[in-house]
Amino acid sequence: MNAFLAFLKSQGAGQARLMAGPVLILMVLAMMILPLPPFILDLLFTFNISLSVMILLVAMFTRKPLDFAAFPSVLLFATLLRLSLNVASTRVVLLNGHKGPAAAGQVIEAFGHFLVGGNFAVGIVVFVILVIINFVVITKGAGRIAEVGARFTLDAMPGKQMAIDADLNAGLIGEDDARRRRAEVSQEAEFYGAMDGASKFVRGDAVAGLLIMIINIVGGLIVGVAQHDMPVGEAGRVYTLLTIGDGLVAQIPALVISTAAGVVVSRVATDQDIGQQMMGQLFSNPNVMFITAGILTLMGLIPNMPHVAFLLLAAIIGGVGWALYQRQQRDQASAAEEPARAEAAVAAAAAEASWDDVSVVDPLGLEVGYRLISLVDHEQNGELLHRIRSLRKKFAQEMGFLPPVVHIRDNLEIKPTDYRILLFGVEIGRGVALVGQWLAIDPGGVTMKLQGTETTDPAFGLPATWIDVSLREQAQIAGYTVVDAATVVATHLNHLMHRHGARLLGRQEVQQLLDHVGRELPKLVEDLVPKTLSLSQLQNLLRGLLDEEVPIRDVRSILETVTEHAPRLAALNPSGGPDQGELLALVRVALGRAITQHWFPGEGELRAIGLDARLERVLMQAMGGNGALEPGLAESLLADTLRVVQEQEDKAEAPVLVVPPSLRASLSRFLRHHIPQMGVLSSAEIPDERMMRITAVIGGSTG
């Protein structure tokens, strides 16, 4: 029994929906043909106003135009209902207008007296303004948008259909999904086409309202004066007020429905309704609220302005902006903590370890604190990203091979303004960078002290000061080298990349280098690897050059030297393979001009450091045996070398030690760990055409 009653109820609901359209048509015809009492007119006018409000609310809460696909038909019926009400009200006004303002119903009387104060001149002006707003602004704009939308939707239909077919053929969607999407594309085109036509009804309704008002006023004068013997002035006042009330009752719902049409066709389809879009985009930036509040405050302080209104609204807008700012700060803080919480949750949920838990260590990495994220954020056009790209390109041009990509990530465990430079996961450098400030580096000889945070240049260890932007020009005039935060990090990274260049040259880089050279010199590469040297032996040789920051740009000279001497050295070595130390020395001689040019630019005289003759003999004897120095001799040699290097740097001369070929490798290994800025060259590496002068001697006091 209950099931039967439910069936009848569902059938009744379905029949009610089916009868809605015919009932509405009957109402329209009845209002046009049958005379209606004022009470029924009041109910119908109230229904018309409520219907227009409902249409506007439905339009605002739809998320895409097709959610209100019935809108063109609704617009047509609402326009017909409004026009039929105009006919019915005109009949009542002309028949009963001579009896007084309440003859056409309380709704028309209220709109004619209360809204315009009983002044028919004011009513006419208000009515004309409403018609102009509806006809010229809202309806015209909505119609234009619908027209353009229909054109573009029709133009895009073939592409959308092809995209659906492509997804179906690729198996991304099923037949049902494809059929549904095709129907949506077709409905969208039909909707905009229908809206383009339906907007013409609204425009015609606005014109009809204006004509009906004029006809009613003229007809009222004729009826009142000719039929009811009313004075002309009294007839004009009564019938004009009734006509204005009737017109306002019709035009206000028409304006609301026109606004709904504009909302439907002008919105951009997202997963939010129009209210959420407006609130989320118009009131989402606290800076906009602060600037608006500031402008209103300035306007409120102008003499003879309404101070209370401007300052009160400025305070309200400023308070809203502050609330938005606080909410954004909380959201950013929670977003920064979210990765850590997610990682902790994943770690807690992991029942078993797998190979997915093993990650390959990046060859070169940069970790930054959260205050430095703006320097490396792509969306914020981070300046450091561009510097690092240029840095890698410059490194490749200078050193002769492409270094690995620098992997950048934020690290919440370090201080907000700190950064770390990692080589295969091991920290090789750390520094501080203050975004928005400049680092003034003292190159020496600067006497003026700057106001700021004293620190040390992370790349070269020079004294420096973090200063405000306003002091930048003053610091430059005083002789400081002034750089921004991004340059500080990039310079530090570049310095460490050159210092650890040997570690950055892996087998993959060596193979890529050979492939690159092989495209121009195929025979040379073919004869070298693996016939003469293995890939690992070539890698060790190139690393030996990079250990002392010798560029490997001249790959041709390197490979030709190896090809020429490696077979002979391999024949002399009983264990097989050429001696790496001797081969490296021969390659350095072949690169002698480039090495000399690196330390002594130009064509001038070479002013270098030499060894005392007695110390040279002692070192040859000591290193000729087991290659190790006695502790006392090593300490004395290091102290004397530090003194001489400091003297050379004070004279702005290169700290380069020139020694016999047999001592160069051993002394270089010993000295470069203690004095990394010093170079050790073999006398065989100096080109014959360059003149050399020994300006300082090591070992004058060494026993």
Confidence of residue 10 (pLDDT cuts 50, 70, 90): very low
Q: What is the DSSP code (8-state) at residue 50?
A: H
For all residues of the chain together, what is the average pLDDT?
A: 79
Residues 433-485 have pLDDT tens digits of: 999 899 999 888 787 888 899 999 998 888 999 999 888 888 888 889 999 99
User: End-to-end alpha-carbon separation of the chain, Å?
Assistant: 121
Residues 6+ apart with CB under 8 A from 292: 314, 317, 321
For 510-590, CATH number? Answer: 1.10.8.540
Rama region for 11: left / alpha / beta (φ>0; ψ in -120 to 50; rest) = alpha
DSSP letter for 90, please: H
Confidence of residue 656 (pLDDT cuts 50, 70, 90): very high
Q: How far apart are CA 96 and CA 42, in angstroms?
A: 15
Q: Which CATH superfamily is domain 364-502 in?
A: FHIPEP family, domain 1 (3.40.30.60)
Tokens of 549: 């920051």
- Tokens of residue 58, six digits: 């439905």
Average pLDDT, stretch 12-30? 65
Give the confidence band of 272 by pLDDT, cuts at 50, 70, 90.
low
- Among 478, 448, 473, 453, smallest CA distance to 464 is for 453
Provide the strand spans (E) within 392-468. Answer: 406-410, 418-423, 426-432, 438-441, 453-456, 463-467
pLDDT band, very low/low/confident/very high, at 431 (cuts 50, 70, 90): very high
- Domain 600-698: which CATH class? alpha beta
Tokens of 413: 């465990």
Residue found under tokens 């998320």: 63
- Map out the domains of the chain as residue ranges: 33-139+206-279, 294-333, 364-502, 510-590, 600-698
Helix (H, G, I), strand (E, B) or coil at 270: coil
Buried b (16+ CB within 10 A) or exposed e, 437-473: bbbbbbeeebeeebebeebebbbeeeebbbbeeebbe
Eight-state DSSP code of residue 224: I
3-state helix, strand, coil in the chain (%, to 5): 70, 10, 25
Kindly report the length of the chain.
703
Alpha carbon of residue 573 to chain centroid: 61
Residue 500 has pLDDT above 80, yes or no: yes
Q: pLDDT of 71-89, one tens digit each? A: 777 777 777 777 777 777 7
Residue 357, pLDDT score: 65
d(CA 56, CA 71): 10
What's the mean pLDDT in 15-35?
69
pLDDT band at 702 (very low <50, low <70, confident <90, very high): very low
Quote the CA–CA distance of 18 and 22 in Å, as a whole number.
Answer: 8
Instruction: Give, in order, the Cα–Cα distances in Å from 698 to each of 600, 609, 647.
Output: 20, 7, 12
